[in-house]
Structures are given as structure tokens and as C-alpha cells.
Structure 1
């Protein structure tokens, strides 16, 4: 086994390696694979964990704890039955929590679009009236976040996502500009790196001075309880931190049950200040007449309490952990000795961030496609899909069974090696 990085191979060694790995790639293509590592979807096994939910709340079971008939209109805040469970899980006052429909992304789109059209509760004018709107995007980051700010034409400014959160020195400098209106943050097991924002970084986000009085942090805590181990992460009460720092409206926080129960039929949660809630419901009450409270009651009955949520998440961890272990094992066995890639080793969430040789990520994705392995496109973890180094790929191990995942990842490793060999030979 070689202990020399591929870039240090002499010409003859590199030519032989290139020939060998190209032969392995041709063999890979001959298998006519159809494997998908594109999105962090729960597997069928994970979705089966929530089968009991499909029979809830049950015939004749339609009253919330406060006597509300959940079959009827109204209740913009959602029912307290499910809000109280999530408040306990997040360690926050129930008053901070609104419960909505299946997708927290829908609410994120709402609050940004309403700020654009009407301004938020701290705005002097709608964002659409601004000369330009700038938005801070930690990278690598979540492609669907970037798609929202892209759709509104915001100027997206990248900062590095470090192991303890966004590069706060860079953020603190950027927010001196009054046109910088917000930023994205995935605080726990971030997409795609699996990094978690530290208490110190959270405190700096809460306390920092911003030139824009209506600056907002979208704190998307999508993976707050998505551990791969026995340990659940600490949940930071970011809204209260903002209040204590004199910035009570700074944080729009979100989470949901989407990868806990049924991905397309869960409950979303919007956690924020009283003023932000009043601003939100003012427009939400025009857009609709309340969320699906029947589904909220079903979820409340299914979980029972916060410990019920954790019990479900232990099942997910048991399903997901072997898949992550297999991916990491293959990356280590196939790539480590050649020095052609680096990757994160998350303890929760749904993704692994893979950095390959600079300039080759798009080639790796192209080769994988030729071999019948679908990867999320190179650059997807950057605004406008523009990874300036063309190095980052996002791996999503959750959907395939372990046997298929092993075949797919062995194939990905072959593609990484072939792209690297081509690069160094050129």
C-alpha cells in the first residue's frame, strides 16, 4: 500500500496509477448501476417507524387538551399539545413556539418574502425598496436556503463555516453594512458539514452590533435532535440570548418533525420573539386560516412528550449510524493514503462534506453520473452553485440500504481517484 500522496508520484507511477484506476472505472460502468446519493431523504425503514402515526388521532379523537376542535378553522399559533412538547425538547418557553404545517422552509420563504414586500417589524421600509439587499451565507451550506435568497435577487456573501460555526470575525465586519439584512445558519449538525455552532459563537451572534436595525438570522435547527450516537446535542435558546443582549427580534428560529416522522407530512415550528410572532401572524392570517391541527394532534399523541421524541430519534440513529460508518470506512480505506480528499466525520445530521482535489469536484460528479451514481451537483453547497475552488461535494448516506451504499461509495471513491489522476497528469 502506498504511503505517498498521489500528487508526489513520479511520471511513471502516475501513468500506471492512471491506467489502473481508469480500468477500474470502466469495470464500474459495466455494472449499469442506478444509485442515488443526491438528497438527505429518510429511508423506507425510517419512514416505517412512524406507521402508527397514520392511525392517529383516531375516529372521534379531535379535541386538543384545551378543548379546541382541531377539525375546524383557526389557531394560527398551532395547538399547545404539540407546541409544549417541542418547547420541552428545545428547553424554551412554550410562548416562543408557533406550530405550522409540514415544511419549515415554507415559513422561511414567507418571512423573507414578507420582509421583501412589507418590511419586518423593525424595518423602516420594505426590503424591495432598498438599493440592494445583501445576505450572509456560511459555506459549505444548505442549497435550499441559498435558493430562497437567490430567487429574491439578494447579493449573497459567503463566509467560511468553521467547526464551531460561521467565521464570526468575517460576519462582524460584514454587518457594519446597513444593506446586509440577514444570514443563514444551521446551528446543529449543519448541512453538509455536520458542524455545530458553539455557545461562544451563538453569544457573538446575539450581541454583535449591526448597521441594519431589521437584520435577521434564520436559525434553521433542522437537525436539533438528529444524533448518530447516544448523546443528544445541547440546544441553545437563541431567542432568549438575543433578548438578553438587547436584540430581541434578531432570530427567526425553525425546526420540524420532517425527518423524525413523515418527511412530507410533519409539523414545522417557528420559534421567535413576541413582536416577530405578531408580525408573522398578521400576514399569515391573511394567507390562510390556520395550520393542519389534526396532524398536530396526531403528532402530539404519537410522541406523548419530549422523551417520546428522543425515543424515536434513537431508532433513527440505529438505522443511520451504520450507513455513516460505512461511508467513512470506504473513504478512509480508498482515499486516505493518496491525499486526494478530506471529509467531515459528523456525529449527527444527514450529510458528510467531501472536499476533493481543487478543480475536480465537477469532474467527479460527471464521472459518477457516467457510472450510474447520482450525486448532488458540484457547487450545490455554495450560492449560485459557485464553489470557487470546485472542490466540495455533499454525500447523503440515508436513503439507500447499506449494501447499495457500499457499492455506490466504492464507486464514488474510484471517481475521486480517477479525477485526481487526470488532474495531476495534465
Structure 2
């Protein structure tokens, strides 16, 4: 359904009568979308079918005639190799920019690895420190807006979450430094340092170095560095780069400060990829000691399958260019429609990321829940308003995460048309109410 902004005049410049006319027009337009009985989903950052098709060659990388032995003779069909086969550590190490000896390869989910890492600290402590479950208070810093599933883990364990402001260069490090230095009960911070969820921001060199130079009051404080989008660029010539945190921590004399996570979940098949943690040798020794009770080894056949499919880091980079070619037009369509429909009205702001999976949208204060609810009633599912804040409570009721990847391009454009009508209608009604 073609549409255009009904007035070029910014809403803030309209008088009451003009706003009332605008609301009437937008309600009529919204009703037309409702009558279409749409069913469009932008709720999660899922790869689309075309992206999944890119990895179908993995199904042919191994077959019943394949040699399933590693270079060192390990038979991948059998038990053993607790920390992952060497070839997989080399491949994922190159992707994570870490040495193979600093890596453990897990199963399919980095979120599972993060959960286990929090759980281990909760029940058994970190490097001889008191288990978190025996402390009166445990706190975590949470850059906001941020990743809802991170917040869900710490909330599940009853850990108090403290919001920290995000900026285009990363978390507000003045806040972070002061908080961790003053409060021994603060045990960690969640980070998505490259193409962050949901803004698509990447931490500056100075931010990474300040993280490495942190001097927390808690000896068992750890940075949970979720580099989920390390190779997820949208443009060949406009890529964000991130200096390597483990190396910076080593230089700063705090080699044990970071747990770094990654996976192939949005590279190959979500749910059937491989995940990894990279950290110091001291941290690895403790993790491996716990793993001996948890497993005899993860899926080595799948690890070998990934190695045979990609070959090396060059194979991963070429593969990711194919992903970018599919999803780049979707990001550009979202940005184009937001610019077309909302900039003339002077409402809303949004990020224009160079990679990752999301666009962060800020509606006028007090409008996000109503916008998302209206979109749902018109057949467009969005991420729940407030999800990007701990406990699902956005103090400004403003932030909405847009996930462009899953719908096809035509459906995405239609969904964004509905979304911008909801934004304009809600904003205009709010302004009218404030005039009363």
C-alpha cells in the first residue's frame, strides 16, 4: 500500500487543529492496515531462509565415506577432547582473534556458555573467591539499551542489575569505572562490543583500553564480552574494527579480567553451530575442571564439519559477504522508510549501523509500549517494548528494537509502513494530550 506523510510540517510546529486533523488521517490509514489481516514478524533477530540456504553445503562436508579423524588422529565419532578439536580452535580462534590455546569449543549456543559461566560463579565462586550464592548481595552492570537475554540470565539468578548508559563509543566508562571501584558487590558487566544489540554501536579503542585498565573492588569481577557480531559486517568498505580485549588486559596487568564469547549461530545454522569461550589460561584451567563433571566432550563431528566447510578464516569472511548481500538491502529499506516518514514530522531517532542484526529506535518518551501494541494489533510483531532494559523496564518508555533480517524485503517494507504509522499516530496523540 503506497503512502506518504500527510504533512511536511513538523508535529511540534502544528497547532491543536492541525494535530487533530493529522490524527484523523492516521487513524484511517491505520484501520486500512488492520483490515489487511497481516501477519508479519520482526520480533527476534533471526536469519531468513535465504541466509540459512548459504550453509547447506555443510550437509555435504561430511558423509558416510568421510574420514572423521583429526590431524592428530583423534576420531571425532568417539568420546573425549573436552575443550574441542585443535582444528576448530584454530578456525574459531582466527574468527575471535585469539590463540587456540586460549579457547574452549563448546556446543551450539554461546548463550548456554554464558549461562554456565554465571552459574559456575554462583555455585562455586571464581578462583577461590566466595560463591555468589553465599553473598548477601551480587550486582551486575548492564549497558542500556542492551540484550534482553543477557539480562534474563542475571535476573534468573537473582542478581541485581544496574543500568549503565550506552554511548556511540560504548558504555559510559566514567560510570563503569566509578561503580566497580566503589562497590565490591558488583561482580560483572554484560558487553556486546561490536555492532551492539540493539544499537549496532562498536566500542572505541579508548573504551576497550579503559575496560582493560579497570581496577574493580571485587577480586572476582569479570567482563562478559559477548562478541556475537565480530564478523557480521554489512559493507565491505565500511567495517567497524575492535581492538582485542584479552591482549589489552594482558598489557594492563589484568589477564584474568575477561570472559570472551562467540559462536557461529548467525554464520551457519542457529541451533546447530559451534560456540566458544576465549579467556586467560588461569580462567581456562578453572572452567575445564568444572567441565570434567559436566561432559566428556561436545559434538566433535559438528566441529569437524565446520572446519571442512570453511577451511580457514578466509572462508568465513567470504561466507559473511554472502550474508551481507542478503540483509544489507533490508537495513537500508528500514532506514529509508524511517527517514521518509518520520524525519519530516520531527519525531523519533534511530541508529544506522554498519553491521550486526538490529536497529535501535527511540520514540518520543512515553510512547514505545503503545507503538508496539498498535503494531501488534495491525499484524506486525515487534520485540516487546522495555525488553532492552533490565527487568523489562525502560524508564523513558522510548526504546524499540527493530530486527530487519527475518522477513522478506517486501514484507519488511510493509511492516515498516505499519510501524511508522503507529509511531506518528501515537506521537500526535501524545502531543494533543499535552495541549489539553
2:199 aligned with 1:193: yes
Contact 2:76 2:301 in 1 (8 A): yes
Taking the aligned partners of 1:316 and 1:82, their CA distance within structure 2 comes to 22
2:144 aligned with 1:139: yes
Taking the aligned partners of 1:243 and 1:213, their CA distance within structure 2 comes to 16
2:240 aligned with 1:240: no
Contact 1:39 1:396 in 2 (8 A): yes
Contact 1:140 1:192 in 2 (8 A): yes
Taking the aligned partners of 1:299 and 1:18, their CA distance within structure 2 comes to 54
Unmatched tracts of structure 2, length 5 or more: none
- Corresponding residue for residue 392 of structure 1: 399
Taking the aligned partners of 1:407 and 1:61, their CA distance within structure 2 comes to 49
- Corresponding residue for residue 125 of structure 1: 130
Contact 1:82 1:299 in 2 (8 A): yes
Contact 1:91 1:235 in 2 (8 A): no
Contact 1:225 1:233 in 2 (8 A): no
Deviation at 1:5, TM superposition (A): 2.5
- Corresponding residue for residue 317 of structure 1: 324
Contact 1:185 1:217 in 2 (8 A): yes
The match for 2:308 among 301, 317, 324 is 301
Report the 3-state secondary structure (helix = DSSP H, G, I; strand = E; otherwise coil) of the residue aligned with 1:51: coil
The match for 1:89 among 91, 95, 109 is 95
Taking the aligned partners of 2:80 and 2:204, their CA distance within structure 1 comes to 38
Taking the aligned partners of 2:25 and 2:405, their CA distance within structure 1 comes to 31
2:99 aligned with 1:99: no
Report the 3-state secondary structure (helix = DSSP H, G, I; strand = E; otherwise coil) of the residue aligned with 1:241: helix
Greater mean deviation of Cα atoms: 24-33 or 81-90: 81-90
CA-atom RMSD in angstroms: 1.1
Q: TM-score, normalised by structure 1?
A: 0.98
Taking the aligned partners of 1:192 and 1:363, their CA distance within structure 2 comes to 20
Deviation at 1:75, TM superposition (A): 1.0
Contact 2:364 2:427 in 1 (8 A): yes
Deviation at 1:214, TM superposition (A): 0.6
Taking the aligned partners of 1:89 and 1:280, their CA distance within structure 2 comes to 21
The alignment covers a number of residue pairs equal to 425
Deviations 1:283-329 (A, max 9, x none): 11101111100000000000000000000000000001000000000
Taking the aligned partners of 1:263 and 1:360, their CA distance within structure 2 comes to 33
2:19 aligned with 1:14: yes
Greater mean deviation of Cα atoms: 7-16 or 164-173: 7-16
The match for 2:270 among 263, 273, 279 is 263
Taking the aligned partners of 2:126 and 2:215, their CA distance within structure 1 comes to 18
Report the 3-state secondary structure (helix = DSSP H, G, I; strand = E; otherwise coil) of the residue aligned with 2:343: helix
Report the 3-state secondary structure (helix = DSSP H, G, I; strand = E; otherwise coil) of the residue aligned with 2:165: strand
The match for 1:357 among 355, 359, 364 is 364
Greater mean deviation of Cα atoms: 185-194 or 245-254: 245-254
Deviation at 1:89, TM superposition (A): 2.8
